[in-house]
Amino acid sequence: MINTFIRKLKLAFSDPEIRFRILFLVGALALFRVLAAIPIPGVDKTALASFFANNQFLGLLNIFSGGGLERLSIVMLGVGPYITASIIMQLGTIIFPQIKQAYHEEGEAGRAKFIGWSRILTIPMAVLQGVGFLFLLQSQGVIPQLDATTLIANIALITAGSLLLMWLGELVTEFGIGNGVSLIILAGILAGLPSSISQTLFAATAANIPSYLGFIVLALAMMYAVVVVSDAERSIPIAYARAVRGAAMAQNAATYLPIRLLQAGVIPIIFALSLLLVPQMVLSMLGALKISFASSAALWYTGFLSNTWNYGTVYFLLVILFTYFYTSVTFEPHRVAENLQKSGAFVPGVRPGRETEEFISNVVNRVTLPGACFLGLIAVSPSIIQGLTGVTTLILGGTALLIAVQVALDLARKIEAQVSLREY
């Protein structure tokens, strides 16, 4: 197995095209890390560190900016606005028939149109998020009160940084290997590991060594669970009445329709995180406009989420809710049943058409429940691990782990596919 890996690695770097794609990916990620280290002017680092220490769910947003948010860099929003715009566009397929037609029925041209609309929508999303964050940080004393000119300049700078990352991610997707936006998020996750590990090593003493060993065991168990669940699927047998293979005709050829356990991926976690964050940002903006009730409401909401039990319960329930919601948006049993019927396929023991649709829908609903509960546990895992081990310097973010594992597995498959193509 090791010899096979070494042979494929040599083939990957000996092939000019694969080598160019890998080096392009490395260069783009290096540029992203440079941008994430450039802060906007007038930041109080002490107040900033204290603010992030008291807001656990903002730490999750920091993942998607690659650490840029905790430094208030020019790319502090990361690819968050682009992800938000893509989510809104996918939700728009339910409301607007034109979007649904472009996304599902017009092929590659429709997908290109859909991506173009997402890019345009990213601009107002970046502006709104930038305004919300700046007002929120001003209210917490992290940055000084800004005059109109400075505020507009900072919003323009933050918006441009987010659009630059979106463009960089699309370049990686086209000229590199893997999904560029996902790889930017992965780079941000990996960039934060050295500092967390060093803090943990400095904080370790002989008395708390058992806690750290327990933390390592839990982290490895979680990593194993994420790898297994990421590839888990429920296979529905599909039969064809007649299948032509060359000049011969085979009767009752069988295949499978895979239903993934994590059909929605990490999108429900992003949905839930956004819903938790929006009220605080809106109340902070209203407080900055001197609206009387907003300041007291913002303090109450911040205090409510500061309680670990409140935060964990609400977050867990929202993740389960959005998992079912997003699965219903992206997976349409009616369309699947219709396509099976058009191609002459059927589920053994189930009538084509309406009964097949109901059968597939029931399977999806049953499979979604354990997947949703797993995503919910992953989302609140930092609080659980902290409570069980007492380790606060290195909390293995379940969301970060889930993203890192899925992106790393996808990248490994893409590289192996490129190498296998050259071998044949």
The DSSP string of 113-143 is HHHHHHHHHHHHHHHHHHHHHHHHHHHTTSS
**Angstrom distances, CA of residue 241 to CA of 341, 344, 347:** 11, 7, 11
pLDDT of residue 5: 60
Domain with CATH 1.10.3370.10 in the chain: 1-191, 205-402
- Give residue for tokens 């296979």: 235
DSSP bridge partners of 90: none
Closest by Cα among 324, 321, 326, 311 to 380: 311
CA pair distance 119, 237, nearest whole angstrom: 39
Give the residue among 103, 183, 211 at the shortest CA–CA distance from 414: 183
Give the global pTM. Answer: 0.75
Q: Cα–Cα distance between 342 and 63 in angstroms, integer?
A: 44
- Give the pLDDT confidence score for residue 252 in this predicted structure: 52
pLDDT at 71: 73
The stretches in the chain having pLDDT less than 70 are 1-5, 8, 42-68, 100-107, 195-197, 199-208, 211-212, 241-254, 281, 284-285, 287-290, 383, 385-399, 423-424
DSSP state of 40: P
Q: Provide the angle, in degrees to the nearest 10, between the axes of the packed helices 308-330 and 267-288.
A: 120
Residue 410: phi, psi to the nearest 5? -65, -40
Query: What b/e readout covers 52-62, taking b as 16+ CB neighbours within 10 angstroms?
Result: beebbbbbbbb
The DSSP secondary-structure symbol of 15 reads S
How far are the Cα atoms of 252, 375, 377 from residue 255, in angstroms, in the given order? 10, 29, 33
The token pair that represents 253 in the structure block:
């050829």
Architecture of domain 205-402: Orthogonal Bundle (1.10)
Q: At what angle do helices 107-139 and 80-95 cross, to 10 degrees?
A: 130
CATH class of the region 1-191:
mainly alpha
First to last CA, the chain: 19
DSSP single-letter state for residue 331: -
Helix (H) or strand (E) holding 252: strand 248-260
